[in-house]
Amino acid sequence: MTPLDDGTPSVTVVNTVADVEGTSFTELPPLYEAVDPDALDAMCAGDTSGRVTFEYHGYTVTVEANERVVVQK
């Protein structure tokens, strides 16, 4: 589980997967191929609740509106 590092879930997802892979985020495919980054960020922008789960670069990623990101192989 990773807290949002810069306030946006889209950046946190990419950075977390890059860390797990031991690579640079620039080596990963664009996040928009897996999920709409703007919609993902908007989900956590307000006083909302909810969760979204999607596949990205071989990982199952869950982003919770309470500002948590979980990345699982």
Measured CA angle at 39 (ends 37, 43), to 5 deg: 115
Nearest-angstrom CA–CA distance, 24 and 36:
21
Q: Give the model's pLDDT for residue 2.
A: 60
Rg of the chain over Cα atoms, rounded to whole angstroms, equals 11
pLDDT of the residue at 72: 94
22, 26, 27 from 52: Cα distances, Å: 25, 24, 24
- pLDDT tens sequence across 1-33: 565 555 689 999 999 999 999 999 999 999 999
Which residue range is the domain that position 27 belongs to? 2-72
Q: Are strands 51-56 and 2-3 parallel, antiparallel or unpaired?
A: unpaired
Q: What was the pLDDT predicted at 17?
A: 96
Structurally, how many domains does the chain consist of? Answer: 1
Answer left, alpha or beta for residue 50, where phi above 0 means left and psi between -120 and 50 means alpha: left
Q: pTM of the entire structure?
A: 0.87
